[in-house]
Amino acid sequence: MKTQVIYHSLSGCTEKLARGIFEGLKCEEKSLHNLADGTPEIDGDVILLGYWVDQAGPCKPIRELAETLENRHVGLFCTMAFWCESSHAATALHNGAACVQEKNTVIGGIVVNGHMSDKMIEMFRGMGAGPHSASPAAEARWALMKDHPSECEIALATERMNERIQLLKTLQEKGIAFPSITI
């Protein structure tokens, strides 16, 4: 079973997570692709899509690729500079799944914290008042998340993807379809 890890990164967080997941995958055959280097040939049985959250969903390059996938088993992982247990994070993962679930089987997903790029922070600092503007609480959150994703978050995401791929293999060996997960 071939697994492709395909990602797009803005600040380096999603790349860090993608590389960590890729290194920890217990697959016979695997490959790692950064969409910034071009779109790879999609030939994996399992496609793990990694994105940074943009407007409560996948960044444009991943969204566009996701919408072309058909008949694949897809896992999703994303990073965001907001709380990963928030409703915003759940929406970001749900919107990622919405791009693939009609024509594919979703095997799972995970959101982890990431740091915000300096460019984005400066943009928010210059916005004045508003939901995304700089505030003492936002500044504290950005400082806290400066070193994310953490090794623990990477390990959890890797464990999640390995477990779902193993479950897929087990079910296929028994002739059972993986029940797509509604995220």
Higher pLDDT, 1 or 37: 37
* Segment 154-183, tens digit of pLDDT: 999 999 999 999 999 999 999 999 999 988
* Segment 7-18, tens digit of pLDDT: 999 989 999 999
What does the chain look like in DSSP terms, one character per residue? -EEEEEE--SSSHHHHHHHHHHHH---SEEEEEEGGG-PPP---SEEEEEEEBSSSSB-HHHHHHHTT--S-EEEEEEEESS-TTSHHHHHHHHHHHHTTTTTSEEEEEEEEE-PPPHHHHHHHHTS-SSTTS--HHHHHHHHHGGGPSPHHHHHHHHHHHHHHHHHHHHHHHTT-PPPPP--
Give all domains of the chain, ordered by start, each with its CATH number: 2-114+149-173 (3.40.50.360)
